[in-house]
Structure 1
């Protein structure tokens, strides 16, 4: 789903894990950029650092250490060119970890703050979403209640300077702008901006404050008045509290059945995911267990608390971007027959990482165990052929037709497992849904992918909002839903602008993807005019996976299966 960058919010990075980067680049190009996606495609076991030097093989460890130290010393002293010994060490460490598994990672000290920020529940900043349009920082939306909204920033405002330093036409990265907007709570940042219709630039002085960094993207009761919908983007520090608040509110609004959306959720803190599972699973039943070397990292997690929604139909949506802790949650609900899973096979990340803080502030996230669902399924997909082959897995799934045909997914007979009520489920990598939903083939073309890879769609939508701003302020969101449509003339104008930017015209592909493109533009305009909830409400209009999830909730057989589970 398209989303603007939040420069003063914690954001993930594109290094060091290539699998996550490829998922986002190929299938969710317009989502918020990831800064440390690799480090986050993991369920983290947190607590005091239990690692101490061991004597399992002290001679080999000492020889390896002395050899590396000796070679690095020779390179530093005698190599013909000046070298950065620390940079070489970081490189060697990363390559060494690649020989272990795809998810043991080393995060240098300078990147550690960004990696940790993604899992924080709030941050210090001004609360604004922006995009980079032709080297111009453009406000997409001020966040509700934040300093930017209180100061009067508006969608479409173009930032010219931050604290006297020009940011327009400077070829700055998102991260560089992000660094200038963030700062300690209570500090002041001065913005020089240009607003449409204003002849002169305007100056704003904003006092930075604490800004919530929500991980529950949306929580709403749908049109029937009984079906709740909750989308969780990651499992951060505050995710469980956000979820509890959202679930309680939806119950008070009359929700009796729920769709839980975990699409594109890369994981995060494992305990937040298991606590959410406990809200759905009654009694004392297994949620997940881990198996590591010896028994030091062997754990079992069971449901214990009286949950908020232990009864009532429940459907979970997953896709190839759902990983780690989100797979643990989906797998537990599936194995315990508490929910039916809809969508496509999930990513397949079932390795447990222990964060180990090193003396210089860098961090090692070392794989110490594997996750298993209650039925005994391993979530982790194979990686025996090396990191490069592992990285290609999602592309190969598409090449095999997995995204479009359920019968293209093959499992060995030995990978069959049974749920609590005896239904067949499969291991061997990822969570295979009970109800398969193919990707929308009309959106699978190079033209749309290249168009989505630019900022042009978001820029065009922002211009649409500004052109129709006076009309939009006279409408309620319901009126907007019924009456606002992106015309053929406007689509052609977007295509013409793309052609001017070097994207070769492709009328056939444009016609094919027109419904999806219209829906995206309408959602982005709604984001600027009515806020985030409106944005997601528009996207739901053409959401095939959600429509199937709603159908599954209505299906008599699904109701029967879930009803039997509720009686356990």
Structure 2
């Protein structure tokens, strides 16, 4: 791309009243055009009025048939005779949604152009908000105890004095020992401004802490390990940059010199947030991404000016196959401007830009309008970023388990058996193979696992035992993460060189 085709623009611009009105009018026109397109599409299919203008094709028998007539007949059958139609609250709305899904959601060349129903759109916006109302902790169940795993910065929990490792024993005076974890979650969460009392055990000490629930951001979590500031980002939401700035400031106050930015399983989010985070570490005016439109014109987006910039000596970015979109672009920018090392495995490769149209019923149509490029003008879509230092976790932590619901006995072969062998190997049991053949060695390892976990010994592999193995692996990962997370250990090694 020639340099004269590149335009640099400021990301934020003051909008005058007449410009704002023009933008509103333009948005109304865009929405109207999309609505009309859908109405014309559905109108041609769902009603009989426009058959003369409808394309005609040959069916398998060679007879001419109106596509709208065919669709209309299928629609009538689905609405009146389809057995599972009885399970739909509004069969008409369901069929219309499915029609639009078929038009927008099954494009192999562009899986990111999508129609989202009102429920799906609400779920998406909730995930992008990155916040919830509670006290700001992450916890897990170990046997019958609830252990605090993370305390988020500036949360009611941090202000109240909760720390990692505390055991929660009561909530509002109710003993939660052995209680279902979802029930405990309901008790801890609540409306903003309401009080909650949590009794915790710390060593031999027992204390009760009263906190006021608040809306808190939970997309960033930071801590110091081996003198290195570790910053985990789960997504780029509305308040993520503020969270990052708070942790960066804390790292500086603790004398931290090097940073590991953990973007594993970060699927992206708001690009503006990525530009803010870039500004926190590299200052304003650095090209973070380029946007290429249909004509091939490039627009540069630069790191934003933020309240304060924090500089560190060395950086590493942790990434994996689920590091996607804005997180990939930020990783590339850190590599270009801060000489960060990319550690882990190849990233996902999502480099397209979507624009959305909101409809009155709450549904959304989002469609691709451009591609993102890295600061060196490399396209990442369907390509991804290669790590500078490759590091892999054990297979049990990264593979996608099968959906096998069969029951297997010794000397049989199946996907569920392979899953069990992978789990058993990670848990330290002696298995001779991981190819899905139920060998006698696999049976011995399974029997020992059942004994160790006080499970019924039935010499079969089924859904129940696979669930137990999966849970055991999750517990092992959580309890031994300090030594099992070889990717994080490698990243720390890289920045400390």
- What is the 5 A alignment of 1:231-380? 231-281=232-282, 284-293=285-294, 299-303=299-303, 305=305, 308-310=309-311, 312-336=313-337, 338-380=339-381
Residue 432 of structure 2 corresponds to none
Instruction: Report the equivalent of 1:213.
Output: 217
Mapped contact 1:124–1:208 kept (Cα < 8 A):
no
The C-alpha deviation readout for 1:357-405, integer Å capped at 9, x for no partner, is: 2101222333222111112222211xxxxxxxxxxxxxxxxxxxxxxxx
User: For 1:133 and 1:87, how far apart are their aligned partners in 2?
Assistant: 42
Matched, 1:436 2:390: yes
Contact kept in structure 1, 2:138 and 2:148, CA below 8 Å: yes
Aligned partners of 2:459 and 2:45: how far apart in 1? Answer: 49
Counterpart in 1 of 2:488?
A: 546
The secondary structure found in structure 1 opposite 2:267 is coil
Q: CA separation in 1, counterparts of 2:142 and 2:325? A: 34
* Equivalent residues of 2:136, 2:218 under 8 A apart: no
Contact 1:183 1:208 in 2 (8 A): no
Partner-residue secondary structure (3-state), 1:322: coil
Pairing partner for 2:117 from 100, 103, 108: 108
Deviations along 1:389-436, one digit per CA (max 9) or x if unpaired, are xxxxxxxxxxxxxxxxxxxxxxxxxxxxxxxxxxxxxxxx11111222
Aligned to 1:64: 41
Deviations 1:286-308 (A, max 9, x none): 1102223459x964212353863
Per-residue CA distance 1:177-201 (angstroms, 9 max, x = gap): 977875533568999x9x9xxxxxx
Structure 1 counterpart of 2:131: 122
1:392 paired residue number? none
The residue number in structure 1 matching 2:52 is none
SS across alignment from 2:489? helix
Distance 1:502 1:105 in 2: 46
Does the CA-based 8 Å contact 2:323-2:348 persist in structure 1? yes
Distance 1:550 1:148, change over 3 A: closer
**How has the CA–CA distance of structure 1 residues 241 and 315 changed in structure 2, closer, same or farther, with 3 Å as cutoff?**
same
Tell me: CA distance 1:551–1:360, structure 2 relative to 1, closer, same or farther (3 Å): same
How far apart are 1:324 and its partner, in Å? 1.0
Report if the CA contact (8 A) 2:350-2:381 is conserved: yes
> Conserved in 2, the CA contact under 8 Å of 1:186 and 1:209?
yes
Closer/same/farther in 2, CA of residues 284 and 501 from structure 1, 3 Å limit? farther
Instruction: Check whether the contact 1:451–1:503 (CA below 8 A) recurs between aligned residues.
Output: no
Quote the Cα distance in structure 2 between the aligned partners of 1:540 and 1:269. 31
Q: For residue 504 of structure 1, report the CA deviation from its aligned partner.
A: 5.4
1:500 partnered with 2:434: no
Give CA deviations for 1:125-161 in whole Å, capped at 9, x if unaligned.
Answer: 4666576999x9x8454975658998x9x857699xx
Matches within 5 A, 1:403-418: none
C-alpha separation in 2, matches of 1:247 and 1:187: 30
Larger Rg: 2
CA-CA distance at 1:327 after TM superposition = 0.4
Where in structure 2 are there 5+ consecutive unaligned residues?
Answer: 1-11, 13-19, 48-71, 202-207, 400-417, 427-446, 462-468
Distance 1:301 1:503 in 2: 60
Q: Confirm or deny: 8 A CA contact 2:278 2:304 kept in the other structure.
A: no
Cα offset, 1:124, TM superposition: 2.4
Aligned counterparts of 1:329 and 1:315: Cα–Cα separation in 2? 12
The superposition leaves residues 473-501 of structure 1 with CA deviations (integer Å, 9 ceiling, x where unpaired) of xxxxxxxxxxxxxxxxxx96776327538
1:332–1:60: structure 2 CA closer, same or farther, 3 Å change rule? Answer: same
User: Matches of 1:368 and 1:273 in 2, distance apart?
Assistant: 19
SS in 2 for 1:118: helix
In 2, distance between residues paired with 1:211 and 1:441? 37
The CA RMSD over aligned residues, in Å, is 5.0
C-alpha deviation, 1:273, in angstroms: 1.3
Q: Matched residues in 1 for 2:37 and 2:361: separation?
A: 25
1:85 and 2:92 aligned: yes
Is residue 185 from structure 1 mapped to residue 141 from structure 2 by the alignment? no
CA distance in 1, matches of 2:146, 2:186: 16
The alignment partner of 2:129 has SS state of coil
In the TM superposition, residue 91 of structure 1 has moved relative to its aligned partner by: 2.2
Aligned residues: 379
Q: 1:366 to 1:56 in 2, by over 3 A?
A: closer
Partner SS, residue 266 of structure 1: coil
- For residues 374-393 of structure 1, the aligned pairs below 5 Å read 374-381=375-382
Q: Which has the higher contact order (CA 8 A, sep 6+)?
A: 1
Q: 1:87 to 1:344 in 2, by over 3 A?
A: same
More divergent stretch after superposition (437-446 vs 343-352): 437-446
Indicate yes or no: 2:402 matched with 1:446.
no
* Shift, 1:545, TM fit: 1.6
How many Å separate the matches in 1 of 2:197 and 2:249? 40
- What is the alpha-carbon distance in structure 2 between the residues aligned to residue 502 and residue 117 of structure 1? 44
Question: TM-score of the superposition, structure 1-length normalised?
Answer: 0.54
Q: Report deviation, 1:121.
A: 4.4
Q: Answer yes or no: is the 8 Å Cα contact 1:284–1:302 preserved in 2.
A: yes
